[in-house]
Amino acid sequence: GQLTGSPSTVLRRLRRTAAFVVLVATGDLRPPSGDAWRECRNVRAIHARVRLAFEEKKNTTKDASSGAPRPGQPPAVNLEDSVVTLLAFSENVLMTVEVLA
């Protein structure tokens, strides 16, 4: 993904993520007109498309808790993926702060 690419790709992704975090923290979260609410919806849609693309490669959709196939449903994000993503963001944010400081 974009957190394992070139330094410029990682930095661009982190800047977009930082802008998203600031918007959610300070923006309007009221649906459907709130700017932060719309951006959250957009990010969820992007993540759903990415998950579906991965599943198309595997050609199966499984339930994150039981491993049972769920035909026609986008895959749930499992705990391991969530932890790895959180750690990657944390590490990359710290590295970016060091570079920019």
Cα–Cα dist 78/26, whole Å: 29
Alpha carbon 73 to its chain centroid, in Å, reads 18
Q: Greater confidence, 66 or 12?
A: 12
* Token reading at 19: 């802008």
Examine the pLDDT at 33 and tell me if it is beyond 80. yes
**What pLDDT score does 6 carry?**
82
CA distances to 8, 21, 41 from 75, in Å: 30, 25, 17
Q: What is the dihedral of CA 78, 74, 54, 43, to 10 degrees?
A: -80
pLDDT band at 35 (very low <50, low <70, confident <90, very high): very high
Quote the mean pLDDT of the chain: 75
pLDDT tens digit string along 61-77?
555 555 555 566 655 66
In sequence order, what are the beta bridge partners of 69? 62
Range list of β-strands (E), 10-73: none
With 80 as the cut, is the pLDDT of residue 30 above it? yes
CA dihedral over 43, 79, 87, 50, signed as positive or negative: negative
Predicted model pTM: 0.55
